[in-house]
Amino acid sequence: MKKNLAQKTFPFITLVGFILIIVLSLFSLEKAINTSGSPPSDFSRLVPLAQKFINLLAENKWTEATALFDQVMLKALPAEKLARIWTQLTKQYGPFKGQGVTSTQVVGRYRLVYVECKFTKNSLSAKVVFDQQAKIAGLFFLPFTPPQPYAAPSYVKTSSFVEKEVSIGQSPWILPGVLTLPRSKGPKPAVVLVHGSGPNDRDETIGPNKPFKDLAWGLASRGLAVLRYDKRTKVYAQELAQKKILMTVEEEVIEDALQAINFLKKQPQIKTDCLFLLGHSLGGLLAPRIAQRATSLRGIIIMAGPTVSLEKVIVRQLKYLAWLDGHLSPEDKKKISEAEAAAREIEAALPKKDLNLSRRFFGASLKYWIDLKKYDPIQTAASLSCALLILQGGRDYQVTKEDFQGWQKGLQKKLRVTFKLYPYLNHLFFPGKGPSSPAEYEKNGHVALEVIEDITD
């Protein structure tokens, strides 16, 4: 029997006892993590909506709860069926006590909100999947796993550095962060870490993994100070939604990265003429644009930075996930066709005038896409006077060797640029074997030592 895309990308999901797991109208859903360069998601309204949905279940308001479903979900899970599922949950796990922590994830065209559901006997994680119209397109009840303590990779020497909490930016967008400082005497060279897409925390946490923490601690163990911070779309999700800001990458990424660089310039422990910027995925794409305005940078490190347009990156990623097991279902074909149509609309929008900039494609406004279409990362990188280090994982299916070759071809005449391809690393720069898949991101891993060494050389 052929699997649909959801099944292809959910190999590690297990059922909670006899509880029904609903995977309806889902497409490419598990840990495609959106550091691929996909646009920001509107979690400021989706998190409260998911919480509202759980409250409606707890209050036995089944009709109101199913009113939040898309048509496919509504047909497959009418109010009476949803009521039976919730009743089964409370029989097995006891009365509902309340909600706990929430977390979010972007996968392809979908937005996932995880809500901890506390029952008297145990807690479950409700995984609520939203489509682009903010309708619930899927529902899972999974075992709740409390956040696990971070286990540092072997190349980290925790005795060689200290960390202090800091704040960067200006009102109303002040962001919490952490500065990792080597214990060695004298001013240190420093690097700012710039995230991929989505409401990332300072560690770029994905599943049990914290690649930015690996980088910060690994680099600090070798004498570099590192500044990382929580992203604006994570810290101020609700405020951004209330203001109804049509964001571009300026608000999402660039303004705060520039503020982080300015923060380092004011720190007495930092060697201000030896500042670097490291961008991962979307952050890598935008690193040249940031460096163009932060002329004091000594160099930039681009990790898995796309050179193919982001709408094409998304379509390419969906196709890859669809073909993971060699089969393409009619539903898969439909979703790919829809994504290709959206990509064509974005491509055609740039030369036009009098556009509705609030129209949304892949979760972001048309204004966001037009801004990106006007930016040429390769041309911008070629114009920089600072050094460039461009890193790529050979097993990365989100930002691929095609993108890496784009950098190589476009910068072949540029001096002070170094290219590194790691055949066995994935999008997070974690080692692995065989074709990469979303399931990898749920396994514990660390940024490879050779990446740390190449950055510090």
111 CB neighbour count, 10 Å cutoff: 27
Instruction: State whether 206 and 104 are in the same domain.
Output: no
Residue 37 is classified by DSSP as S
Q: Which pLDDT score, from 0 to 100, does residue 107 have?
A: 66
Asked if residue 244 is part of any domain, the answer here is yes
Q: Which pLDDT score, from 0 to 100, does residue 142 have?
A: 84
Asked if residue 127 is part of any domain, the answer here is yes
Q: How far apart are the C-alpha atoms of 389 and 303, rounded to whole Å?
A: 8
The CATH number for 245's domain is 3.40.50.1820
pTM metric for this prediction: 0.77
Residue 413 is classified by DSSP as T
Instruction: State whether 106 and 207 are in the same domain.
Output: no
385 CB neighbour count, 10 Å cutoff: 9
Exposed/middle/buried for residue 269 (C-beta within 10 Å: 0-12, 13-18, 19+): middle
Q: Which pLDDT score, from 0 to 100, does residue 26 have?
A: 28
Asked if residue 51 is part of any domain, the answer here is yes
Marked catalytic residue, from 281, 365, 436, 437: 281
**What is the DSSP pairing of strand 387-393 with strand 299-303?**
parallel
454 CB neighbour count, 10 Å cutoff: 15
Instruction: State whether 209 and 68 are in the same domain.
Output: no
Asked if residue 195 is part of any domain, the answer here is yes
Asked if residue 337 is part of any domain, the answer here is no
Instruction: State whether 81 and 170 are in the same domain.
Output: no
Instruction: State whether 91 and 164 are in the same domain.
Output: no
Q: Which pLDDT score, from 0 to 100, does residue 159 have?
A: 97
Instruction: State whether 191 and 90 are in the same domain.
Output: no
439 CB neighbour count, 10 Å cutoff: 17
Q: Which pLDDT score, from 0 to 100, does residue 325 have?
A: 76
Instruction: State whether 419 and 382 are in the same domain.
Output: yes
Marked catalytic residue, from 70, 203, 396, 403: 396
Active site residue 281: yes
Residue 252 is classified by DSSP as I
Marked catalytic residue, from 28, 427, 436, 446: 427
Phi, psi at 230, each rounded to 5°: -75, 140
Residue-number span of the structural domain to which 178 is assigned: 158-303+376-456
Q: Which pLDDT score, from 0 to 100, does residue 449 have?
A: 98
Instruction: State whether 292 and 165 are in the same domain.
Output: yes
Instruction: State whether 229 and 166 are in the same domain.
Output: yes
Among positive and negative, which fits the CA dihedral 321, 325, 328, 331? Answer: negative
Residues in the chain where the model's pLDDT stays below 70: 1-42, 107-109, 354
Q: Which pLDDT score, from 0 to 100, does residue 32 have?
A: 32
Phi, psi at 445, each rounded to 5°: -160, 175
Asked if residue 291 is part of any domain, the answer here is yes
308 neighbors 402 (Cβ within 8 angstroms): yes
Question: Hey, what are 7's tokens?
Answer: 């099944």
Instruction: State whether 119 and 178 are in the same domain.
Output: no
Residue 77 is classified by DSSP as S
Number of domains in the chain: 2
The CATH number for 17's domain is 3.10.450.590
